[in-house]
Chains A and B, each alone.
Chain A
Amino acid sequence: MSTQLPQWIKLNNEILVKKDSSFQYEKDREAARSYFIDYVNQNTVFFHNLREKIDYLLDQDYYERELFDSYSFDQIKEVYDYLYTQKFRFPSFMSAFKFYNNYAMKTNDGTKFLERYEDRLAVVSLFLAKGDHKKALQYAELLISQEYQPATPTFLNAGKKRRGELVSCFLLEVDDSMNAIGFAINSALQLSKIGGGVSLNLSKIRAAGEQIKGLDGKASGVLPVMKLFEDAFSYANQLGQRDGSGVVYLNIFHPDIHEFLDTKKINSDEKIRIKTLSLGVVAPDKFFELVEKDKDMYLFYPHTVYKEYGKHLDDMDITAMYDELVNNPNIRKKKVVARDLIIKIAQTQMESGYPYIMYVDNANEYHALKEIGRVKFSNLCSEIAQVSEVSVINDYDEPDVINRDISCNLGSLNIVNVMKNKRIQETVHLSMDALTEVSDRTNINLVPSVAKANRELHSVGLGAMNLHGYLALNKISYESKEAIDFVRTFFMMVNYYSLERSMLIAKERGITFVGFEQSEYANGNYFTRYLENDYSPRLDKVTTLFEGHYIPTKEDWIRLKEEVQQHGLYHSYRLAIAPTGSISYLQSATASIAPITQRIEEREYGDSKTIYPMPYLSDDNFFFYKEAYDMDMFNVIDLVAEVQVHVDQAISTILFVKDDNTTRDLAKYYIYAQKKGLKTLYYTRTKKRTIEECISCSV
């Protein structure tokens, strides 16, 4: 019978069973060991040597032959040998389990492993180096030292003959026409099929009760469109592996905004409830101004705006246009109370975690491509902030006008290892090369608007993880001045070197992203803050952390500015800080730049449950691993705001609150984040006090 509980799961769960009043941390290593001996080793296909293995995997159509043909066998062997001699060991059950459960290549019937961690790294390195054997060795070093981790789709798929796409993240505009909605549904299906997360901007869709063909009251608004997308995503489930995921964004000045939020309320009608689709609200500064002044707020019917101005409501700077729209009698409006709306958002977040919030004016104020177009919405994890343009989808007898949507390929630096190895310039350069390679080799021809954007803009998103791990390891509190001082310098350096590399690629190839000449990089405005401010460490403790690192100075920035203006940049967007779910577990790192949620995490991740003590957790640093729910969210926002200064896209930021927080507390966080220049807020997580806690303080 297969009901027997595996030994490693039992051991892993025993971490939480206290012995002599302390947790049994050591059980984690035992679990990792048992997992290898009792499971991985017994379920790995055995090969006598590397040649036999590679021949088999090529003959059986597991690996891509062209990839291996671009190297000599000796070169390939050198990469594998290098990786195996590094003697890498997974430090926790979670990391080993993540790799073998989610990433290691398995036989076609899914029963046996064909790869170890080293094998996957070797193939990813060979893939990224594209026949350059020296470069492959550099990538191998970068990956095995765990300084850089490509996002899941790249890491999972690179080098495989039958594989999904290397990029995972897509954002689509939806025009206000039946053709466009149909096109978007098709695109959503296609992108889900290849494993992507899809974000849709619904702000252009005419509101419920608007005209269709000049007849009043005929339009059904955004809700039925949301239902269509929800069903599309649950249909495209990647051979049953995982349902497609999607998010829809709506501008807060769209008249369907209340109904949009109600779809996530606990007591909403089944017919309108949205279960699996995520929601995001796009909020211009005007909204916050009206909230602060406690004023009424007008929502604008988008179809009447389009008819009047020939321009979509959400393509406008609504903050600048607000008074004009209010005073234009041809614009149909609905009056609501701004403070009621922010409280409603807070209430919906408490009940469901949604919506995400995009501070669209913050995103556009520091937007390096502001002369090219506006940022209008974000993605499924709210770290993307890029220009997008709606396409015009015509009938069959007329060609479509395809404009640029958004795709983004991501990767993350592991802060602990980057700081330890003290070669941040090289690390960031190589990481940028890895991301560039993925962008260059991606062509999503299923969705032409996405392919066009990638072809012209080469956008990538380099992020980071393990910030809390790094701080705890160095006995720095997450909420301290030192932490803020550290991220200021660290992310300034990441920004500097990513710009430098992008410039060097443009110089080497003689190619910039399309529209570079109109960008803030070309006119030099982008660099102003670096010429006016010094971002090197101010505190002694932080200065010590950077010992052995070269920190770019103002003079370096002046030189870089000139070089960028002369040679251009290859990438329109470079940095974005993703939430790093699976890959931070794989790296035994804390997620993203976020605080930890539990010192010993109990993780439910779709198809598995695992107990995971935070990296390096010990009695020594227990105190520095303060849990997010115990932190002051204002402090967390302050830290993110410091990082945001150096990140051209956005940062996935989660709010963590206890269940005694009210809608007022949450609303204050939203407002504060807006004032501090954050571009997005991801979801809000509520920690429920347990009944023992409640009873014990009362009965």
Chain B
Amino acid sequence: MKPFEAVNWNDPETDYTEMIWTQNTSQFWLDTEIPISKDVKSWVHLQDEEKETYMRVLGGLTLLDTEQGNVGMPLIAQHVKEKQKKAILIFQAAMEEIHAKSYSTIFTTVASTENINNVFQWVQEEKHLQYKTATIDAIYKNIKEDDPYSLYQGLVASVFLESFLFYSGFFYPLYLAGQGKMVASGEIIKLIIRDESVHGVFVGVLAQEVYQQLSIVEKQEADRFVNDLLQDLYKNELGYTENLYDSIGLTHEVKKYIRYNANKALMNLGLEPFFEEEEVNPVVLNGIRTETSTHDFFSTKGKGYQKGKVEALHDDDFDFLNQRVLDTTIK
């Protein structure tokens, strides 16, 4: 019998695993840290169509995060061999659950129980949403033991989900937050995007590694698979977007954004972009820049804070400080 091995972080698997782990864990957050109740004032000023879209957008995102946390990440983690990578994937799965819950935190704060139930009903009935979830789910469940090809398919599905399919939903909260509406909820979405961008990059790197293990024939098949899946999901995403955004006249803008992110997903997989470059709405684009933005301390939490690295003071620190005080005193 093969002995059980413990994960050994003293022996790095690659030069990036520990870095990804650190990045991921240092940006840990909880939905309850963000004062969502501040958005109630903004919420009452939204029109009914806007509220409906907002709720549905979040409903759709909840479903995708549920799929990713309950099925996608655990299955991928099960089939990826290296233990440190598994650890990262499991941590990411846990974050997906926090994402899924945080949409509910927004719901609970701004909407009535009846409205919330309606949205979850809508999630079950919206055919595009069901279709994309079913498509991804089937690929995940098809991953087989010791089969790089099906694992590659699963990793591609995961990257598409993280870097592509979420963004028809992310668009609206970013669009509103950029105009000073639903800012605290926007903050949650930005924290989610900050996580998803790490997930997308990491899983994309794993996919590229697995791809290298494929035979030439398998590689050709895999390329065709990626292209077919992209086309299929893209077509579905267009329909989804129309359903969601026609009533508030943003469909056109969102479709551009979808293509923009589809390209990003392909790049995470190490592939060439497929769609022509277009001008994406700058407000939304600026919303996903993940640098720390300047913010009013009394209003929102800000993406800039994170777990700190602890290091003790040294005795010679004081020699340095005292010397500097002497050196900088103007006589």
Contact B33 A275 (CB under 8 A): yes
Question: Bound complex: CA of A342 vs CA of B312, how far in Å?
Answer: 9
**B9 contacts across to A, CB distance below 8 A:** none
Contact B19 A672 (CB under 8 A): no
Contact B282 A10 (CB under 8 A): yes
**A671 contacts across to B, CB distance below 8 A:** 317-318, 321
Within 8 A of A (CB), among B261-305: 279, 281-283, 285-286, 289-300, 302-305
Question: In whole Å, how far is B331's beta carbon from the nearest beta carbon of chain A?
Answer: 10
Instruction: Please encode chain A, from 599 to 612, with 1 for each CB lying within 8 Å of some chain B CB and 0 for all others.
Output: 00111111111010
Contact A605 B296 (CB under 8 A): yes
Contact A663:B308 (CB < 8 A) given known A13-B285, A695-B16, A698-B16:
yes
Q: Smallest CB-CB separation from A697: which chain B residue?
A: B19
Contact A245 B286 (CB under 8 A): no
Contact size range, B: 35 or more
Contact A664 B292 (CB under 8 A): no
Contact B26 A659 (CB under 8 A): yes
Contact A687:B177 (CB < 8 A) given known A1-B249, A350-B308, A668-B321:
no
Whether A685 is near chain B, meaning CB under 8 Å from some CB there, is yes
**A6 contacts across to B, CB distance below 8 A:** 179
Contact B328 A17 (CB under 8 A): no
Question: Bound complex: CA of A664 vs CA of B295, how far in Å?
Answer: 26
Whether A292 is near chain B, meaning CB under 8 Å from some CB there, is yes
Question: In whole Å, how far is B298's beta carbon from the nearest beta carbon of chain A?
Answer: 5
Q: Smallest CB-CB separation from A197: which chain B residue?
A: B298
Contact B299 A351 (CB under 8 A): no
Contact B313 A609 (CB under 8 A): no
Question: In whole Å, how far is B153's beta carbon from the nearest beta carbon of chain A?
Answer: 23
Contact B311 A663 (CB under 8 A): yes
Contact A676:B325 (CB < 8 A) given known A602-B286, A604-B183:
yes
Question: Bound complex: CA of A346 vs CA of B309, how far in Å?
Answer: 10
Contact A294 B315 (CB under 8 A): yes
Say which residue of A3, A343, A634 sits within 8 Å of B250 (CB atoms). A3
Contact B313 A291 (CB under 8 A): yes
Question: Bound complex: CA of A642 vs CA of B175, how far in Å?
Answer: 44
Contact B312 A339 (CB under 8 A): yes
Instruction: Please encode chain A, from 647 to 672, with 1 for each CB lying within 8 Å of some chain B CB and 0 for all others.
Output: 00000000000011111110110011
Question: Bound complex: CA of A148 vs CA of B22, how far in Å?
Answer: 47
Whether A675 is near chain B, meaning CB under 8 Å from some CB there, is yes
Q: Smallest CB-CB separation from B248: which chain A residue?
A: A3
Q: Smallest CB-CB separation from A685: which chain B residue?
A: B304
Say which residue of B15, B282, B294, B313 sits within 8 Å of A668 (CB atoms). B313
Within 8 A of A (CB), among B130-172: none
Contact B23 A694 (CB under 8 A): yes
Q: Smallest CB-CB separation from A641: which chain B residue?
A: B328
Q: Smallest CB-CB separation from A591: which chain B residue?
A: B294
Contact A675 B321 (CB under 8 A): yes
Contact B297 A686 (CB under 8 A): no
Contact A698 B41 (CB under 8 A): no
Instruction: Please encode chain B, from 237 to 269, with 1 for each CB lying within 8 Å of some chain A CB and 0 for all others.
Output: 000000000001110010000000000000000
Whether A565 is near chain B, meaning CB under 8 Å from some CB there, is no
Within 8 A of B (CB), among A69-94: none
**B49 contacts across to A, CB distance below 8 A:** 1
**B32 contacts across to A, CB distance below 8 A:** 270, 273
Contact A351 B41 (CB under 8 A): no
Within 8 A of B (CB), among A1-38: 1-6, 9-10, 13-14, 16-17
**Which of A4, A245, A598, A698 neighbours the largest number of chain B CB atoms within 10 Å of its CB?**
A698
Question: In whole Å, how far is B211's beta carbon from the nearest beta carbon of chain A?
Answer: 15
Question: In whole Å, how far is B268's beta carbon from the nearest beta carbon of chain A?
Answer: 10
Contact B328 A602 (CB under 8 A): no
**A642 contacts across to B, CB distance below 8 A:** 330
Question: In whole Å, how far is B138's beta carbon from the nearest beta carbon of chain A?
Answer: 30
Say which residue of A488, A641, A699 sits within 8 Å of B205 (CB atoms). A699
Contact A611:B35 (CB < 8 A) given known A3-B250, A5-B281, A667-B313:
no
**B306 contacts across to A, CB distance below 8 A:** 350-351, 659, 686, 688
Number of interface residues of A (CB under 8 A): 78
**A4 contacts across to B, CB distance below 8 A:** 249
**B292 contacts across to A, CB distance below 8 A:** 685-688
Contact A638 B328 (CB under 8 A): yes
Question: In whole Å, how far is B209's beta carbon from the nearest beta carbon of chain A?
Answer: 11
**A568 contacts across to B, CB distance below 8 A:** none
Question: In whole Å, how far is B249's beta carbon from the nearest beta carbon of chain A?
Answer: 5
Contact A10:B303 (CB < 8 A) given known A1-B248, A659-B26:
no
Instruction: Please encode chain B, from 1 to 25, with 1 for each CB lying within 8 Å of some chain A CB and 0 for all others.
Output: 0000000000000011001000100
**Which of A10, A234, A581, A668 neighbours the largest number of chain B CB atoms within 10 Å of its CB?**
A668
Contact A5:B179 (CB < 8 A) given known A581-B296, A659-B26, A685-B292:
yes
Question: Bound complex: CA of A603 vs CA of B289, how far in Å?
Answer: 13
Contact B311 A690 (CB under 8 A): no
Q: Smallest CB-CB separation from A3: which chain B residue?
A: B248
Contact A16 B305 (CB under 8 A): no
Question: In whole Å, how far is A681's beta carbon from the nearest beta carbon of chain B?
Answer: 14
**A605 contacts across to B, CB distance below 8 A:** 295-296, 299
Contact A663:B180 (CB < 8 A) given known A5-B175, A672-B321, A688-B27:
no
Contact B41 A662 (CB under 8 A): no
Q: Smallest CB-CB separation from B180: which chain A residue?
A: A608
Contact B305 A353 (CB under 8 A): yes
**Which of A240, A671, A676, A695 neighbours the largest number of chain B CB atoms within 10 Å of its CB?**
A695
Whether B220 is near chain A, meaning CB under 8 Å from some CB there, is no
**A339 contacts across to B, CB distance below 8 A:** 312-313
**A278 contacts across to B, CB distance below 8 A:** 297-298
Contact A609 B177 (CB under 8 A): yes
Instruction: Please encode chain A, from 342 to 362, with 1 for each CB lying within 8 Å of some chain B CB and 0 for all others.
Output: 110011011111000000000
Question: In whole Å, how far is B93's beta carbon from the nearest beta carbon of chain A?
Answer: 19
Q: Smallest CB-CB separation from A638: which chain B residue?
A: B328
Question: Bound complex: CA of A6 vs CA of B175, how far in Å?
Answer: 12
Contact A604:B295 (CB < 8 A) given known A662-B308, A699-B16:
yes
Question: In whole Å, how far is B183's beta carbon from the nearest beta carbon of chain A?
Answer: 7
Whether B81 is near chain A, meaning CB under 8 Å from some CB there, is no
Say which residue of A343, A604, A634 sits within 8 Å of B310 (CB atoms). A343
**A50 contacts across to B, CB distance below 8 A:** none
Contact A266 B33 (CB under 8 A): yes
Question: Bound complex: CA of A642 vs CA of B248, how far in Å?
Answer: 56
Contact B179 A351 (CB under 8 A): no
**B27 contacts across to A, CB distance below 8 A:** 688
Contact A663 B310 (CB under 8 A): yes
Question: In whole Å, how far is A294's beta carbon from the nearest beta carbon of chain B?
Answer: 7
Contact A668 B283 (CB under 8 A): no
Contact A343 B325 (CB under 8 A): no
Q: A-side interface residues toward B, CB under 8 Å?
A: 1-6, 9-10, 13-14, 16-17, 234, 240, 243, 245, 266, 270, 273, 275-276, 278, 291-292, 294, 339, 342-343, 346-347, 349-353, 484, 488, 581, 597-598, 601-609, 611, 634, 638, 641-642, 659-665, 667-668, 671-672, 675-676, 683, 685-688, 690-691, 694-695, 698-699
Jot down 10 A-B pairs with beta carbons below 8 A, ordered by A. Answer: A3-B250, A16-B285, A343-B313, A349-B308, A604-B296, A604-B299, A605-B295, A606-B298, A662-B308, A667-B313
Q: B-side interface residues toward A, CB under 8 Å?
A: 15-16, 19, 23, 26-30, 32-33, 35, 37-38, 41-42, 47, 49-50, 175, 177-180, 183, 194, 197-198, 201, 205, 248-250, 253, 279, 281-283, 285-286, 289-300, 302-315, 317-318, 320-322, 324-325, 328, 330
Q: What are the nearest 6 A-B pairs in CB distance?
A: A350-B308, A13-B282, A608-B180, A606-B299, A662-B311, A664-B311
Q: 20 extra interchain contacts, Cβ-Cβ under 8 A, other than A275-B33, A606-B299?
A: A1-B249, A2-B47, A5-B283, A13-B286, A276-B298, A339-B312, A343-B312, A351-B306, A351-B307, A351-B308, A602-B289, A603-B293, A604-B299, A604-B300, A662-B308, A676-B328, A685-B292, A686-B305, A687-B291, A688-B291
